[in-house]
Structure 1
Amino acid sequence: MEEQYEMLNSSLIALTTHFAQVQFRLRQIVEAAPDEKEALLKSLEEFAFRGIPEMENVVTKRIDKDLLQETIVCQRAKQAELIDKLKIQLAELESYAYEVGDAGLPQNVLIERQKVIIDQLKGQLNLNVDDIDKMPVDELKRYVDNAVGQLINPLRMKEQLVVQLKTQINDLERFIEFLQGDSSVHHKGERPCDCDCSHCTRNVSKSRDHLQGKIVNIVKRISALLQIFASIQFQNTKKFRRNSPKKSMKTRHWGDLRAQLEVAIENVAEVAQEPTEWYADSDYVSDSESAIQSSNGRLATVVRRQLAVALQNLMQHGLVNPNHSLSVVPFVACFKHKAPSDRSEVHAWEIVLRFYEMKNGEKFNSTPARKLSQSFNLDITGGRAVSAKQSLLCVVGNIIASHDVYKRSYDSQFKALVCAGLNKRMLVPWLKLLLRCQPIIEVYYADWSYVVKSGFEDSFVSLDKLSRFQFNLPVDLAVRQLNDIKDAF
């Protein structure tokens, strides 16, 4: 009896709810415009014949596990169906309330428009927030602020440039007025003279007037050039922004560099799979590592000449020198300057040195205990795990200490870092530390560079394939022979 009573009660509630919906739709039809009544009547007909959601609540005391699981699945399906129907009804109610004027924009329409706005902002600001569910709120805010800053900072710099140019133009105009006033004063103080001697006041005044006329013409030309330059920078920035990528699209594309890195990784993996014999010292080793011998020497050759070079070229794609900027000086900035060369002036090893300086690597390696451990090859960690940053700072400090003494090139030091990273299976974690450092990216990399556009993520995946091999590459190859000569004497 209780079960039947509960069933009747739930059925009555469902029936009452259904009648209320029908009554609401009838009222909506009565208040609607004549041209909308036909559509509302069809909607009412569909709703009336849709049926009433079942609200049964059957309680059974003795149910086996299989029947209980089936009942749970069935109940979940009914709940999902009921939720979908309620969502549809809620959307219809919100739409009706919005049309009448009692409420704001419906929630589904609002979410759709917000999504359109967010997609447009992502495209314009170069935002990559695919992992938005994993990022904390503070990091997400900082990421968006950096993206907005990359768009706004160049505009602010252009505004400052235009203000500076206007100030210089005003200074030039005042200088011209000063010269003209000085010329008029000299004319008032002169005495008339009729002689033809070279030291006469009349001849001196003529030469002075001629010189001042030349100066005034030169200053006027410079002022005109500055005005042209300011108008171009202030009014036609969009035009130049559109045309510049077309001219440099081939030089800015990293496809060839990425392909070279992939080929180098495959070559290293192929050689690493071969049975190796450990590296034997050669009679002479140059800075270009042209005298590497034996089977392990072949592996070192492939790593240093192919993998390290390809990785260096890809890291240098889009590198800019922060110290190389256009000087806004009246007699220099107005002339045509040479376009920057395709080859970056900043070396990949300089990025490593900048990171080493930012993280106080010299202070980290200057402790007595660490110097003692480096001298006698001791382990001072005491069983503690060494972080990727600590190992990177230690290796970079060792490379600097061993290579700077003999003035080895940046290429040799970068190759030594790649070899050390492969030996320790830490090349990918080290590169992530370097190429995910936001201050370095903002200062040294252009917005069209490979590091900014892709985050180097696909290269990390490819380089991670080499972590399954055990490498024993010579890190001090560029200085080993020199160290042997020094030890011999």
Structure 2
Amino acid sequence: MHETGLQLIQKALAVLQIFAASQFGCSTGHVPQNMWSQDSTGLDYGPLLQRLEAAVEKVRVLGSRRHPSVEHVVSYTSTSTLGARDELTTAVRKELATALKDLLAHGLFSPSQTMSLVLAPISCLLPYRPAPQTMHPWELFVKYYHSKNGKAFVESPARQLSQSFSLNVGSGPGTVTPKQSFLWAIHAVLKEHGRYKRGPDTEFKALVCMALNEQRLVSWLNLLCKSGTLIHPHYQSWSYMAQTGFEGALRILGRISHLRFNLPMDLAVRQLKNIKDAF
């Protein structure tokens, strides 16, 4: 009796799927991008882009003012007192990183495989629009790291990551490519911040600081944006990423590519590290 009931349900779903596919274009394994409701305010990425541009300009001005030489070097030593009074560090972490995070988060969502399989056959018939599960941009970087077998790469004998995170991320044998340094950086942030259970905001800010230190913020973001198999399933069709490929934002960020930084990537966990070292 139970098996007969399941068979009837399966047949009913099959018929409904055929009807939906023929009449509305619904297909198995695909939930239409326009299924998720979004008001016109959320669709407009203009203000987010303006915030990023303003943050980049502030960092550029502060960086050039700190060291107006030809090389535009902005340097901090490991013993420097860093805090809210440090304008440049604050501008990078609280304004630039936040503006970049918000633009990356525009239209970003975490796809549910279960939802796709269940709702796809009838998604065109649903009278409501369920909201997608939001996703922090840092999670996208972690997914990139795992998709490229980052852990195996950085822990391979030929590519051992430096034990001291105060050294350059790209230190190692031979020529280091942007992809290799990108994987090293994500690994370093995960290892350094994971032990203290820090949140994604903190880890994202640390990565931005490392990217600026390496003068590879644009190249690392470009690698992420060009990863189609990762980007397409996680961004709505109306998102800034899907609409532009993030090209405008990369051009804006390129305005500070000539500056050389030595920003602290462990600022959020430094006090915790000091407490641990004291014991």
The answer on whether the counterparts of 1:369 and 1:380 sit within 8 Å (CA) in structure 2 is no
| Matches of 1:165 and 1:467, distance apart in 2 | 59
Shift of 1:352: 0.5
Q: For the structure 1 residues 249 and 388, does the alpha-carbon distance in structure 2 shift closer, same or farther, using more than 3 Å as the test?
A: same
| Matches of 1:314 and 1:353, distance apart in 2 | 18
1:446 pairs with 2:236: yes
| Matches of 1:467 and 1:419, distance apart in 2 | 13
Query: 305, 309, 328: which one pairs with 2:94?
Result: 305
The answer on whether the counterparts of 2:154 and 2:161 sit within 8 Å (CA) in structure 1 is no
Structure 2 residue aligned with 1:271: 62
Q: For the structure 1 residues 323 and 270, does the alpha-carbon distance in structure 2 shift closer, same or farther, using more than 3 Å as the test?
A: same
- Residue type of the partner of 1:432? N
Question: What is the CA deviation profile of residues 283-318 of structure 1, one whole-angstrom value per residue up to 9, with x for unaligned ones?
Answer: xxxxxxxxx244xx2111111111111111111111
Structure scoring higher RCO (CA < 8 A, sep ≥ 6) equals 2
- Residue type of the partner of 1:466? I
What does residue range 269-348 of structure 1 map to in structure 2 within 5 Å? 269-275=60-66, 278=76, 280-281=80-81, 292-294=83-85, 297-323=86-112, 325=115, 328=118, 339-340=130-131, 345-348=134-137
Q: For the structure 1 residues 250 and 380, does the alpha-carbon distance in structure 2 shift closer, same or farther, using more than 3 Å as the test?
A: closer
Question: What is the CA deviation profile of residues 420-469 of structure 1, one whole-angstrom value per residue up to 9, with x for unaligned ones?
Answer: 11111000000000011110122211222111211111111110110121
The answer on whether the counterparts of 1:165 and 1:230 sit within 8 Å (CA) in structure 2 is no
| Matches of 2:239 and 2:105, distance apart in 1 | 9
Structure 2 residue aligned with 1:235: 23
Q: Secondary structure of the equivalent of 2:106?
A: coil
- Residue type of the partner of 1:248? D
Q: For the structure 1 residues 409 and 251, does the alpha-carbon distance in structure 2 shift closer, same or farther, using more than 3 Å as the test?
A: same
Q: For the structure 1 residues 165 and 308, does the alpha-carbon distance in structure 2 shift closer, same or farther, using more than 3 Å as the test?
A: farther
Q: For the aligned residues, what is the CA RMSD?
A: 3.5
Query: 218, 225, 230: which one pairs with 1:428?
Result: 218
Structure-2-length-normalised TM-score: 0.77
Structure 2 residue aligned with 1:416: 206
What does residue range 185-204 of structure 1 map to in structure 2 within 5 Å? none
Question: What is the CA deviation profile of residues 209-232 of structure 1, one whole-angstrom value per residue up to 9, with x for unaligned ones?
Answer: xxxxxxxxxxxxxxxxxx7x9977
Shift of 1:272: 1.3
- Unmatched tracts of structure 1, length 5 or more: 1-163, 172-226, 283-291
- Residue type of the partner of 2:194? D
The answer on whether the counterparts of 2:37 and 2:130 sit within 8 Å (CA) in structure 1 is no
Query: 32, 40, 49: which one pairs with 1:249?
Result: 40
Shift of 1:247: 6.3
What does residue range 156-235 of structure 1 map to in structure 2 within 5 Å? 167-168=11-12, 235=23
Q: Secondary structure of the equivalent of 2:140?
A: helix
What does residue range 10-21 of structure 1 map to in structure 2 within 5 Å? none
Shift of 1:474: 0.6
Shift of 1:327: 6.1
Structure 1 residue aligned with 2:263: 473
- The percentage of counterpart residues that share the same residue type is 35
Structure 2 residue aligned with 1:359: 148
| Matches of 1:244 and 1:169, distance apart in 2 | 20
Asked which structure has the greater CA Rg, the reply is 1
Shift of 1:328: 3.1
Q: Secondary structure of the equivalent of 1:278?
A: coil
1:437 pairs with 2:249: no
1:381 pairs with 2:172: yes
The answer on whether the counterparts of 1:370 and 1:380 sit within 8 Å (CA) in structure 2 is no
Shift of 1:403: 0.5
Shift of 1:372: 6.5
Q: Secondary structure of the equivalent of 1:374?
A: coil
The answer on whether the counterparts of 2:161 and 2:184 sit within 8 Å (CA) in structure 1 is no
- Residue type of the partner of 2:43? R
| Matches of 1:380 and 1:278, distance apart in 2 | 19
Q: Secondary structure of the equivalent of 1:250?
A: helix
- Residue type of the partner of 1:307? L
- Residue type of the partner of 2:12? Q
* Equivalenced residues, count: 251
| Matches of 1:308 and 1:170, distance apart in 2 | 48
- Residue type of the partner of 1:448? W
- Residue type of the partner of 2:142? L
Q: For the structure 1 residues 360 and 232, does the alpha-carbon distance in structure 2 shift closer, same or farther, using more than 3 Å as the test?
A: closer
- Unmatched tracts of structure 2, length 5 or more: 1-7, 27-31, 68-74
| Matches of 1:400 and 1:467, distance apart in 2 | 25
